[in-house]
Structure 1
């Protein structure tokens, strides 16, 4: 199973899309996809659904959503495989678990590239850092879980991902500045700001425009101030 959440939700089993038609079932799938291969308590999933139903009927709605997701998994299943809808979306004591079978996750790829970028920055390898951090940022297709109704758990997950994205952006900007790529950086950020909703991109364009021509240290300090203000 391949999962993408750094933009609109995309879940694919055997290459086939598994995205329910109803908003409630999409929300349940999104919460499960936010924590792949981990137990998500039924109480958490039910609480997410209070947007669609009163609390007293949300557990019944949860069971309906699980059935809808499993129906899609059955349609996408491989008859020769040992994975079944019930083993992919598994009922476990206390809740449910989405078993990816070791498939791709854009969040995991983002963390892997970002981690490599941070380590490269720590050892002063700004070229590698810039490349790996750019790879991490390139995985974002839009706001996390774009188009999915977010309850308490999903809202917290989205906020955490966006904060990490801003932090990675800041490290990439600093790597570019350390490499003396002020002009290229300003151009790239302007292009990114035109196509993305992330406020930090647009603010950094303004900062670099105001500090263009000053020393790299001045520009770096200005960038840091902007990122810290955005993360506050």
Structure 2
């Protein structure tokens, strides 16, 4: 769990207090700080055994684990996503779609499922999951600008079921269906979302999504 926490924040300082929260879920024993140092020593020994000694560094009130961009999927994901956004910003849509899709392929399911009994680790995993959703939405929007609606329509359903509140997913799904000539299904996606928002939050769709819907009615 300690290694997972350090890898959730690669090359970044992880305070000892946060380690204590992760390991004992907000209820650390009196010996918690001493135990953390024991665990750090054990982790250093494991890293040395695999030829990775010197990576776990003490800095002030915490520790950081030194990791290269090509050694951790989360770092490679971030690098590819950044490159994809830059390509999109420069109008290189085909390159952007390729880079964003390459980032998405690094994911094989929810992050750290076996460690989510810790609220701290669960929060880190949720943060990673949110990044994945953002990149998927960016990829879908680029593909739709390229006119490649079919793959978006074929991959978006499961994500919408898991995250029904995300409006960008709904918008991308509507656009994909509309581009494929499936107008009735596109309208149904909007209506389902409108009813969901009204029932759960007493709200309606944003003006942007409503305008998108009305443009499809013309």
Give the TM-score range, shorter chain: 0.5 to 0.7
Give the corresponding residue for 1:46.
20
Give the corresponding residue for 1:213.
181
Cα offset, 1:132, TM superposition: 1.1
Give the corresponding residue for 2:90.
123
CA distance in 1, matches of 2:42, 2:116: 17
Deviations 1:71-90 (A, max 9, x none): 3223212xxxxx63xx2223
State which drifts further: 116-125 or 127-136.
Answer: 116-125
CA distance in 1, matches of 2:31, 2:99: 46
- Conserved in 2, the CA contact under 8 Å of 1:110 and 1:136? yes
CA distance in 1, matches of 2:148, 2:10: 38
Unaligned runs of 5+ in 1: 1-26, 78-82
**How many pairs were matched up?**
184
Give the corresponding residue for 1:60.
34
TM-score by length of 1: 0.63
Larger radius of gyration: 2
CA distance in 1, matches of 2:83, 2:68: 25
Q: Where is the strand percentage greater, Structure 1 or Structure 2?
A: 1
Unaligned runs of 5+ in 2: 198-218
CA distance in 1, matches of 2:50, 2:35: 23
RMSD: 3.6
CA distance in 2, matches of 1:176, 1:103: 26
Is 1:91 the counterpart of 2:90 in the alignment? no
CA distance in 2, matches of 1:115, 1:34: 18
Deviations 1:108-154 (A, max 9, x none): 21122112222222233321221111011111122122322464543
**Of 153, 168, 191, the match for 1:186:** 153
Cα offset, 1:178, TM superposition: 1.6
Deviations 1:31-59 (A, max 9, x none): 11112222211111112111397432322
